[in-house]
Amino acid sequence: MDALALTGSFEQILSYDVATNFLFFGLSASCLFVLRRRDAGAVFVRVPLHPWSTGVFVLACAGIVAVSIWNFPVDSLIGYAIMAVGIGPFLYWRGRRG
C-alpha cells in the first residue's frame, strides 16, 4: 500500500477503498437477516426498526458500490483486483491451519 500512497492521488486511493469496503459492509449487515432467522428463539438485543433499518443500510451500501463503480470504474476494478490478490494467501494459510 505504500507504493500506492506514493504514486496515486488521494481520490484514486479512496476510490479503491470505498468500493471494496462498502461491498463488505453491506454483506456483513445482510448476514443479520440470516442470523436472526436461524436463531429466532434466542434472546437478541432489540434494535429499533430492525428489519427495515438493516435493509435500508444494505441498500445504501449497494448504492454506494454502484455509484463508485459508475463514477470510477477503473479505480473500483483495481480495488477489487487488489482484494482478489489476497484470496490465494488466504486459502493457503487457511489450509495450513488444519
Per-10-residue mean pLDDT of the chain, 98 residues long, equals: 67 83 95 83 75 94 94 90 92 86
Q: Are 15 and 68 in contact (CB under 8 A)?
A: yes
CA distance 11 to 46: 38
Q: State the Cα–Cα distance between residues 40 and 14, nearest whole angstrom.
A: 39
Question: Looking at the 3D structure of the chain, how many domains does it have?
Answer: 1
Q: Which domain holds residue 28?
A: 2-97
The reported pLDDT for the residue numbered 5 is 65
Q: What is the pLDDT of residue 98?
A: 66
- The distance in angstroms from the start CA to the end CA of the chain is 30
User: Residue 3: what pLDDT?
Assistant: 66
